[in-house]
Amino acid sequence: MRVAKYYNNNDIRLEEMPTPEIGPGELLVKVIASGICGSDVTEWYRIKKAPLVLGHEIAGDIVEVGDGVSGYKEGDRVFVSHHVPCGECRYCLDDHESCCDTLRTTNFEPGGFSEFIKIPEINVEKGTYHIPDEVSYEDGVFVEPLACVVRGQKFAKIGSGDTVLVLGSGIVGLLHIKLAKVNRAGRVIATDVNEYRLDAAVKSGADAVIDGREDVPAKVRELNEDRLADVVIVCTGAIPAIKQSLHSVDSGGTILFFAPTDPGTEIPIPFNELWREEITMVSSYAGCPEDIEEAMELLRSGDVKVEDMITHRLGLEETRKGFQLVEKAEDSIKVIIEPWK
């Protein structure tokens, strides 16, 4: 089968490798659509494991079913989660499945930028979901990132009528805007330093946008009746945006840190100010089974529409171009690789 093998962001090669052979309890899935995630192009994070086949936002068809598998058959349309929690450890039982050691060590083989993937038994049991008729393969690519957003907003606890500030209007920022509206936020304000993405934020439902190079806290007050934001969601690892978040949250408010920085980055915080104003700071990582089910339903019902976010559909041989589009973050939102295109 053909795969797009990652060596670095500028060196992604179309190569041949054997189609995986499945065993008892496993599935073979034909990849129809695979999204490029921002984490895929985060080179410091990926390069240490290169060369490898990346891609974890997938939707496809089951083409082979291993002995002992029940509930799935050839031809079923599925989304498969690459990371799955054990459901039994202290973290899973305390609603922190994303901290589970099993979740952080599971994966499918070889990766979504390939024609086929093998689904290990644990992923079959805990991470394979039928795609409803109302959800297209391309919609299915959004299940994983939307699940991550669902989880983050649970931790952020957006209340009805809250003012929500989204810092960074890339793919997850736009999903946060859309979901905040579903969660009955009163006003959603978004920032970015790219005009294309600010326009995308408006199209995604933001009530107002701010150029991230401006005085963001002051602009929030101007747009929000002299108040700061009840919830601030940081969707970028850019240091200026992280610093802005610390000064853009209203008394009693919450900051959700949703994106990583470069390794070793340290951010000074105005400790007394945050302490005095009873600011809650939370983080979230990944999406878990409950979040995936909710994300699938949001897509099925149409409460979160994602088709307008797809800017590029590329063949497997164009994966390098797709990585460059996502890395530059200039005039793309969601780039999807279609191995059979």
Helix intervals (H) in the chain: 43-46, 90-93, 121-127, 137-140, 143-156, 171-182, 195-203, 216-223, 239-247, 271-276, 289-301, 319-328
* Mean pLDDT, residues 31-40 taken together: 96
CA distances from 200 to 12, 190, 218, 233 (A): 28, 10, 23, 17
- Site of tokens 């606890």: 157
Can you give the pLDDT at residue 341?
A: 87
Segments of the chain assigned to CATH 3.90.180.10: 2-142+306-338
Question: How far is C-alpha 109 from the geometric centre of its chain's CA atoms?
Answer: 20
pTM score, whole prediction: 0.97
Tokens at 162, concatenated: 């809250």
Domain 2-142+306-338, CATH: 3.90.180.10
pLDDT digits (tens, 9 = 90+) for 143-159: 999 999 999 999 999 99
Can you give the pLDDT at residue 238?
A: 95
Q: Which residues contact 290 (CB under 8 A, 6 or more apart)?
A: none
List the beta strands (DSSP E) in the chain. Answer: 2-8, 11-16, 27-35, 57-65, 77-80, 116-119, 128-130, 163-167, 187-192, 208-211, 229-234, 249-257, 280-283, 310-315, 334-338
**Residue 133 banded pLDDT, cuts 50, 70, 90:** very high
pLDDT digits (tens, 9 = 90+) for 69-112: 999 999 999 999 999 999 999 999 999 999 999 999 999 999 99
Q: Which CATH architecture has domain 151-283?
A: 3-Layer(aba) Sandwich (3.40)
Tell me 92's DSSP state.
H
Euclidean distance between CA atoms 303 and 305, whole angstroms: 6
Question: How far is C-alpha 254 from the geometric centre of its chain's CA atoms?
Answer: 21
Can you give the pLDDT at residue 192?
A: 98
Whether pLDDT at 23 is above 90: yes
Pick the closest to residue 337 from 26, 43, 40, 82 (CA basis): 40
Can you give the pLDDT at residue 4?
A: 98
pLDDT digits (tens, 9 = 90+) for 250-299: 999 999 999 999 999 999 999 999 999 999 999 999 999 999 999 999 99
Segments of the chain assigned to CATH 3.40.50.720: 151-283
* Mean pLDDT, residues 183-198 taken together: 97
Mean pLDDT across the chain, nearest whole number? 97
